Amino acid sequence: MKKHSTDVLVLGAGAAGLAAASKAKQLDAKNVVLLDEKEDFGGILPQCIHPGFGLQYYREDLTGPEFAIRLYEKTKSLGVKIYNSTYAMELLAQDDRRIVRAVGPEGVIEFRPKTVIFSTGARESHAFEIGIVGYRPIGVYTAGQAQTMMDLYGVMPGENVAIIGSGDVGLIMARRLALQGADVKAVIELLPYPGGLARNIQQCLIDFGIQLCLSHKATRILGKRRVRGITVIRVDENLREIEGTEFEVSCDTVIVSAGLIPRVELLERAGARMDPATRSVVVNELLETSILGVYAAGNALVINDLVDYAAIQGERAATSAVEYIRNKGSPPVDWKPVTKGRNIRFIVPHYVSGHRDVSFYGRVMQPEEEVHIKIPEIKTELHRIGVKPPEMITFTISKRKFEKLEDNRLTVSIEPVN
């Protein structure tokens, strides 16, 4: 077995990982290694062929592959060592030692990194996770699978399509399928509001006359060999099925777009503290997990709306990792917990020191108009015209603001403007 000491080991060469690896190099980390399970770099970016990437990070409107190429070229030119087709199997962490075992084309490699950044992305929820019953006919895909088929391999998943769930990837696939000549019958959403961004409702559904059925539940996939339809029923405000409202949508393909789940199993197994709200790890403002010297960024940390956030988190994690190496560990800090107040589903990071600027990423539970994001302990009130669960709330609190902090905690809540 090959053994390999590194300063920074980055797992996953998507937006967060590429940004992390290049940032670490720019900050003079000597030995930066980037692993990816795929043959190619970019994570999910190469199959996201639509524009809308990089407006913040590059101040330019790029497609997914263009964003990936730009980040990759920088990473390569800085001298990051990249291992493709290499899968991280295990993280072992004890005191201040970390071991990552991975398997690649040349067999098992054991990395002994000073720091590890998890930029492992997310996986998709599938049909069985959202309570849809039926046989297992051909023609059921997650939105990301359909995207891989169409936009990496040029294969149409089907001709008549029903989409279950209105997450952004599902909406984007509704448009892609419609553009390529498929008949997209409907997008079925259980909740009374869409799961994806409003702009995607406009440019992916309204533009193509695709029907969005809010407060509707897909209950069954019909067909034994090939999908021949789905059954759909209306639900009330408590998400209970309304009897007598059931109908069938005939289709040969079902695409499930039911959200993303961070891929942090290795961290969980290694004993990292988890947050059930994000289904990922608990982190402080350095994006450091409860395991010393191990960081998380991008969709592995929190499901982001924008690739730009993933890249920025990657850079934050890399900066922290390089500081860790320089200081030979994390200096002792009196971490103050960030607690969830009214209408907050999750908020990341979970701990702050008050000694540096902190960018927060969160989501609300309910849509609301005219609100303040309130943090009473530092007398902060940020106005928002509206908040919706599909739209991440982001804000940065400057170090100066934390000087007012009297309590030993922060509470973030959404309060109506009066």
CB of 196 to another protein, least distance (A): 10
Q: Helix or strand or coil: residue 364?
A: strand
Stretch touching another protein by CB under 8 A, among 63-71, 263-271, 278-286, 330-338? 63-71
> Tokens in use for 260?
């993303």
Quick one: which of 26, 31, 85, 203 contacts another protein (CB under 8 A)? 203
Q: Which residues contact 54 (CB under 8 A, 6 or more apart)?
A: 60, 61, 62, 66, 67, 70, 307, 308
Quick one: which of 199, 240, 379, 404 contacts another protein (CB under 8 A)? 199
CA pair distance 374, 87, nearest whole angstrom: 42
Which candidate, 203, 206, 163, places its Cα nearest to that of 183?
163
Count how many Cα atoms sit within 13 Å of the Cα of residue 103 in the half-sphere of its side chain: 2
Among residues 65 and 341, whose Cβ is nearest to another protein? 65
Using CB under 8 A as the binding rule, the residues of this chain from 287 to 326 that contact another protein are 305-306
Among residues 82 and 410, whose Cβ is nearest to another protein? 82
Quick one: which of 89, 133, 198, 417 contacts another protein (CB under 8 A)? 198
Q: Does 207 bind another protein (CB under 8 A)?
A: yes
Q: Does 181 bind another protein (CB under 8 A)?
A: yes
Quick one: which of 27, 38, 55, 292 contacts another protein (CB under 8 A)? 55
Q: Does 127 bind another protein (CB under 8 A)?
A: no
Quick one: which of 137, 391, 401, 405 contacts another protein (CB under 8 A)? 391
CB of 60 to another protein, least distance (A): 13
CA distances from 226 to 4, 221, 250, 346 (A): 48, 10, 12, 40
CB of 178 to another protein, least distance (A): 8
Stretch touching another protein by CB under 8 A, among 201-209, 249-257, 259-267, 371-379? 201-209
Quick one: which of 14, 46, 113, 293 contacts another protein (CB under 8 A)? 46
Q: Does 66 bind another protein (CB under 8 A)?
A: yes
Backbone angles phi, psi at 15, to 5 degrees: -60, -50
What is the separation of C-alpha 238 from the centre of its chain, rounded to a whole number of angstroms?
28
Q: Helix or strand or coil: residue 64?
A: helix
CA pair distance 312, 15, nearest whole angstrom: 9
Among residues 228 and 384, whose Cβ is nearest to another protein? 384
Stretch touching another protein by CB under 8 A, among 19-27, 43-51, 85-93, 292-300? 43-51
Among residues 44 and 227, whose Cβ is nearest to another protein? 44
Backbone angles phi, psi at 216, to 5 degrees: -130, 145
Among residues 199 and 399, whose Cβ is nearest to another protein? 199
Stretch touching another protein by CB under 8 A, among 80-88, 199-207, 224-232, 344-352? 199-207
Q: Does 180 bind another protein (CB under 8 A)?
A: yes
Which candidate, 26, 53, 115, places its Cα nearest to that of 317?
115
Q: Does 377 bind another protein (CB under 8 A)?
A: no
Among residues 172 and 188, whose Cβ is nearest to another protein? 172
Q: Does 382 bind another protein (CB under 8 A)?
A: no
CA pair distance 360, 284, nearest whole angstrom: 11
Radius of gyration of the chain (CA): 22
Q: Using CB under 8 A, count the residues that bind another protein.
A: 29
Contact 137, 316 (CB under 8 A): no
Using CB under 8 A as the binding rule, the residues of this chain from 134 to 163 that contact another protein are 150-154
Which candidate, 407, 277, 264, 413, places its Cα nearest to that of 337?
407
What is the separation of C-alpha 211 from the centre of its chain, rounded to a whole number of angstroms?
27
CA pair distance 12, 10, nearest whole angstrom: 6
CB of 197 to another protein, least distance (A): 5
- Beta-strand pair 62-63/140-142: unpaired
Contact 162, 255 (CB under 8 A): yes
Using CB under 8 A as the binding rule, the residues of this chain from 10 to 39 that contact another protein are none
CA pair distance 268, 271, nearest whole angstrom: 5
Whats the size of the chain, residue-wise?
A: 418
CA pair distance 191, 125, nearest whole angstrom: 16
Quick one: which of 27, 38, 58, 63 contacts another protein (CB under 8 A)? 63
Give me the residues that bind another protein (CB under 8 A), please.
46, 49-51, 55, 63, 65-66, 69, 150-154, 179-181, 197-199, 201-203, 206-207, 305-306, 385, 391
